[in-house]
Amino acid sequence: MYADDIVLIALTIDALQRLLTLLENQLDVIDMRINATKSSCIRFGRRYEAECKNVTMRNGEKVAWVKSCRYFGVYFISGRLSKYTFENAKRQFYRSFNAILVGLADRP
């Protein structure tokens, strides 16, 4: 099994690395794993564009640094301030809603 929907927040990359290691240790107890390919790191603040050292899992896999990421349908965008957008969620809602309306309009 894999752990889903977990957010780790830290002030420094070293603190983030320690949190990740602690999380991996605790997940081992309940036989769960973190999928590094589905995980990502994002940075906010004055130095959001600065090069960061890699956050590494115990098995040696590196967690990718990204400019934006999705969490529960909300896209977070790296920047001086934390930014987020609901545009994709709204687009999917309207697409589904319109499909339902078209289906209802086709009924006799």
pTM beyond 0.75: no
Which pair of structure tokens corresponds to residue 107?
């009924």
pLDDT at 108: 67
pLDDT at 16: 94
Q: Is 23 helix (H, G, I), strand (E, B) or coil?
A: helix
Counting residues of the chain whose pLDDT is more than 70, the rounded percentage is 95
pLDDT at 89: 74
Residues in Cβ contact with 39 at an 8 Å cutoff, skipping those fewer than 6 apart:
63, 64
